[in-house]
Amino acid sequence: MNILAIEDDLEMASFVQRILSDEGHSVETVHDGDSGLALARSKEFDLLIVDRMLPRKDGLELVREFRESGGNAPTLFLSALSDVDHRVEGLKAGGDDYLTKPFAPSELLARVDALGRRGGTEAPITILKVGDLEMNLLARTVKRGEESIDLQPREFRLLEFLMRNAGQVVTRTMLLEKVWDYHFDPQTNVIDVHISRLRGKIDKDFDRPLLHTVRGAGYRLQA
């Protein structure tokens, strides 16, 4: 992916660049809002990573102007401000996701992957498929092979999110935010238990597991 990172903290900028380059992304970094906006407009990027507080042009303002001038590359905000209000502001300004510093490299990668995928076609999908696992979004049914699987509504949403991000790592925080819409952290890993329930339903009676745990990062659904 072609990624533009706009971050004034040089240490943080090179940290982000390093993490993403290691995964094979090509990353350009700039350190202030004005040149960030100029570069974002002059070149096609697959993803923008924007710090909230930037010299010369605030991150919010930058994204707002970028969107107004027709820029549609997905945008991930980075910020030391973790309040829900700040998060909402960021999303209102045209951001697609919001990540609070400090973050684990795996968290950044997972979110970048999720956003990069969303940048593609937005045609309405009615059937999601991962290997022999198939989800019908209209009928709200799930089957693996020929066997139909009965899921609770929340399990259905959890699986849907995993299938939409198939092949990529999703973190516990992402699941909590996107599936449960919670912006706080339960301390014990309540999410893990839901995953293992889901795993029990979609993987237990089959030879090849689809739902994998990625140590220190999260989960990945992969055929």
Partner 1 sequence: MRLPLPSFVRTTTFRLAVVHAVTFLIFTFGLLIYLFYSTAGYMRSQSVKELDGEVQALAAAFNTGGMARLNQSVVERSSVPGPYFYVLQDADGQTISGDFPSIPDEVPNEESVETNFSYQTLNRNGEIEVRSANGIIIRLPNGAALMVAYDLGQRRQIVDRIIQTMWTALPIGLALSLIGGLIISRWAARRAEQLTRTTDGIISGDLSRRAPVIGSGDEFDRLSERLNAMLDKLEHLMMTTRHAGDAIAHDLRSPLTRLRNRLENDLRDGEKVDREESLERTIAEVDAVLATFNAILSLSRIQAGDAAKFKQVDISTLGEELAELYDPAAEDEGLSFDSEIEVGLTVDGDPSLLGQAMANLLDNAMKYTPKGGAMTLRVRTNSHAQAEISVTDTGPGIPEADRERAVKRFVRLEASRTQPGNGLGLAMVDAIARLHHGKFELCDGPGEPPATGLRAALLLPKAQE
List interacting residues with partner 1 (CB under 8 A): 82-85, 102, 104, 154, 180, 182-190, 192-194, 196-197
CB of 80 to partner 1, least distance (A): 10
Helix pair 153-164, 190-202: axis angle to 10 deg? 90
Q: In whole angstroms, how close is the CB of 197 to partner 1 at the nearest point?
A: 5
Residue 123 gets which letter from DSSP? P
Beta sheet of 147-149, edge-to-edge order: 127-130, 133-136, 141-144, 147-149
* Min CB(82)–partner 1 separation in Å: 7
Give the nearer residue to partner 1 in terms of CB position, either 148 or 196.
196
**Under 8 Å between Cβ of 61 and 50:** no
CB of 179 to partner 1, least distance (A): 10
Whose Cβ is closer to partner 1: residue 7's or residue 107's?
107
Q: Distance between CA 14 and CA 20 in Å, rounded?
A: 10
Nearest to partner 1 of 122, 184 (CB atom) = 184
d(CA 169, CA 115): 12
- Taking the least distance from each CB to partner 1, the nearer of 74 and 218 is 218
Q: Which helix (H) or strand (E) holds 194?
A: helix 190-202
CB of 152 to partner 1, least distance (A): 8
Nearer to partner 1, 125 or 190 (CB): 190
